[in-house]
Amino acid sequence: MNCITAIQNYIVRMVESVKGMKVLLLDQETMGIISVVFSQSEILQQEVYLFELLEAPNREVMTHLKAICLLRPTPENLFLLTDELRKPKYEEYHLFFTNTLKSEYLEDLAQADEHEVVHQVQEFYSDYFAINPDTFSLNIESCIPTSPSNHQVILDRICDGLGAILLSLRRRPIIRYEKASELAQRTAQELTRRMLAEKTLFDFRRKSAGVPVLLIIDRRSDPVTPLLMQWTYQAMVHEIFTISNNRVKCYNSSSTKVNEIVLSQLQDEFYKENIYSNFGDLAINVKKKVQELSVHAQANQNIQTIEDMKKFIQNYPEYQKLSGNVNKHVSLLQDLAQITGERQLLLLSETEQELATNNDHSSAVKLVTELLSNPKVEASDKLKLLLIYALRYERHSSNQIAKLLGILQQSSGVDQRDANSLIKTLLMYGGDEVRSGDLFGTKSWLAKARNTIKKGLQGATNVYTQHRPLLVEQLTDLVKGKLPDSLYPAMGDYIIDKEKPSDIIVFFVGGATFEEAYAINELKRENPDFANVEVVLGGTTIHNSHSYLQELRKFRETSFNR
């Protein structure tokens, strides 16, 4: 199961099916879907001479070009496309939709094709953003509905994306969902309805022992993970700068210049090898690349013969590419290091991890008080710390939320009422009464014992990466056949199979994180139970703490306005 390869195969088939000079006619989402799996130069090699947006006004008439349209089958796109076909701008139209096309839409297109320019109509199930081979997103900014109709729009987009991922990976799984989550349950129900309505599309035979499983869970069951500082390369860049469709806008406080770079595993071998490297190992690996570049530079300086000149000319493009790539990662590493120091992120992260993994209230209050009083720590980071404390000690009889709010206001000028309402919102969103799982391992003697044993086995664990997302426990239980049926039932008439799953697709309504992607990678690498089990992680979005706090604020607005 490789999300990137699945999308790439569709795009290659689509482009190669049309001979001659071509234009790619896209919408905003399909432009992003293609951009994360192909570079523009790679597409141009296939006789694609132009990229256009269907909604762009005043496009030129170019009857010497053939149009390949890759579009989401939305009412808006169908309206624009029928208008286009009535007044065609290109010689031919080859229509590809990222999802199943309703019969009435097909009829509307046939009626609009008065000039008979449409040569083919196909469904290529590419309705998601393939971030890593085993990680995908739907790029839904928020799952908080502002109205009943908006709730349906969100549900439809989620089911469109999940249907596409299943069809592109050729899986017809057992669907299990988090029972406590209304959105997870509605998603499971709607997706099941669609799969039954399109039985022939989902008629895939099992390729191995076991059954594929789609596990739909809610972000609200683990509200802590998106608040924590991350220290693996991909996750750290996303937390500090935000990665959007493989593009990153880098900046630091010493410069007003914003530099946009591309981080793509397909075009950058170093990035591919280091997305899960921690910050310390990353620095060592970047240094090795600099040394390699230095060796190349010294070799190219010794040009004495015509043969030396020829070799230099032949190797120059490769040297330039290597040089640019090394410079990119050195600059990025420098920015990350500078911001880490300026914002006291190491000290902050150590305290976050202490709160997330240990249950010592007096020590927690002391550590949080010290950081809230630290003038070098940013107000937004202090607020995150207080949110983690509130989640951890929500039920503690002596919790110090009011006192700590006062310190936050005094030290950073943060509006105490606003911060207090955000804490209340977080507890409404993902507090103890809402969560279905045992997030902190404190609800039963068995969970407490398990945590004690785990800490004893870990020994000198990196203090910045002690936390493990709840997903690790959920997946481990699923693979062992111990995931509770009562909390995670299956859809339809399925009897939950205690047999080891062959493949698992995990989907977070409310957004996944790169820490969870890293945790899955570690599970597959270290846990023998996951041998020969492929796991793909998806979410309505990939959160960092900034997008997560925006989600909480939107939840606050909609909850208080009801």
Comparison of pLDDT for 10 and 146, the residue scoring more: 10
Q: Two tokens at 555?
A: 């939840």
Q: For residues 137 and 120, state if they share a domain.
A: no
Residue with tokens 């009562």: 486
Q: For residues 150 and 37, state if they share a domain.
A: no
pLDDT for 325 equals 85
Q: For residues 103 and 185, state if they share a domain.
A: no
Q: For residues 116 and 137, state if they share a domain.
A: no
CA angle 514, 385, 434 (to 5 degrees): 70
pLDDT for 243 equals 96
Domain boundary among 306, 327, 342: 342
DSSP letters, 137-192, are E---S----SSHHHHHHHHHHHHHHHHHHHHHHT--PEEEE-TT-HHHHHHHHHHH
Residue 311's pLDDT band, with cuts at 50, 70 and 90, is low
Specify the CATH number for the domain of residue 271: 3.90.830.10
Residue 388 CA from chain centroid, whole number: 22
Q: What is the pLDDT of residues 329-364, one digit of tens each?
A: 988 999 999 999 999 999 999 999 999 999 999 999
Q: What does the pLDDT average to over 35-41?
A: 90
Q: For residues 218 and 237, state if they share a domain.
A: no
Residue 164 CA from chain centroid, whole number: 16
Comparison of pLDDT for 428 and 321, the residue scoring more: 428
pLDDT for 93 equals 98
Instruction: Tell me whether residue 525 is in a domain.
Output: yes
213 burial (CB, 10 Å; 0-12 / 13-18 / 19+) is: buried
pLDDT for 439 equals 83
pLDDT for 520 equals 97
Instruction: Tell me whether residue 40 is in a domain.
Output: yes
Instruction: Tell me whether residue 318 is in a domain.
Output: yes
pLDDT for 453 equals 42
Range(s) of the domain holding residue 238? 233-342
Comparison of pLDDT for 307 and 27, the residue scoring more: 27
Q: What is the pLDDT of residues 416-447, one digit of tens each?
A: 899 999 999 999 999 998 887 778 776 554 44
pLDDT for 323 equals 79
Domain boundary among 125, 154, 182: 125
DSSP 8-state symbol, 101: -
Q: What does the pLDDT average to over 540-558?
A: 95
147 burial (CB, 10 Å; 0-12 / 13-18 / 19+) is: exposed
pTM flag (> 0.85): yes
| Residue 250 pLDDT exceeds 90 | no
Give the rounded percent of residues in the chain with a pLDDT score beyond 70. Answer: 89
Instruction: Tell me whether residue 315 is in a domain.
Output: yes
pLDDT for 308 equals 55
**β-bridge partners, 66:** 22, 92
pLDDT for 450 equals 46
Total domains, the chain: 3
Q: For residues 119 and 139, state if they share a domain.
A: no
Judged by average pLDDT, the poorest of 48-52, 454-458, 482-486 is: 454-458
Instruction: Tell me whether residue 508 is in a domain.
Output: yes
Q: For residues 212 and 238, state if they share a domain.
A: no
Residue 90's pLDDT band, with cuts at 50, 70 and 90, is very high
Instruction: Tell me whether residue 18 is in a domain.
Output: yes
Specify the CATH number for the domain of residue 519: 3.40.50.1910
Q: For residues 196 and 109, state if they share a domain.
A: no
Instruction: Tell me whether residue 460 is in a domain.
Output: no
229 phi and psi, to 5 degrees? -65, 140
Residue in 220, 212, 217, 178 with CA at minimum distance from that of residue 195: 212
Dihedral sign for Cα atoms in the order 460, 465, 467, 470 = negative
> SS3 for 544?
coil
Q: What does the pLDDT average to over 524-529?
A: 92
Q: For residues 118 and 148, state if they share a domain.
A: no
197 burial (CB, 10 Å; 0-12 / 13-18 / 19+) is: exposed
351/365 Cα distance (integer angstroms): 10
Specify the CATH number for the domain of residue 99: 3.40.50.2060
Q: For residues 308 and 207, state if they share a domain.
A: no
29/351 Cα distance (integer angstroms): 39
Residue 149's pLDDT band, with cuts at 50, 70 and 90, is confident
Domain boundary among 342, 371, 394: 342
Pure H helices in 431-560: 445-458, 470-479, 514-526, 545-560
Dihedral sign for Cα atoms in the order 521, 352, 216, 263 = negative
Pure H helices in 393-490: 401-412, 416-430, 445-458, 470-479
Q: For residues 56 and 145, state if they share a domain.
A: no
Q: For residues 240 and 274, state if they share a domain.
A: yes
Q: What is the pLDDT of residues 500-516, one digit of tens each?
A: 898 999 999 999 999 99
Instruction: Tell me whether residue 378 is in a domain.
Output: no
Q: What does the pLDDT average to over 163-184?
A: 96
| Residue 299 pLDDT exceeds 70 | no
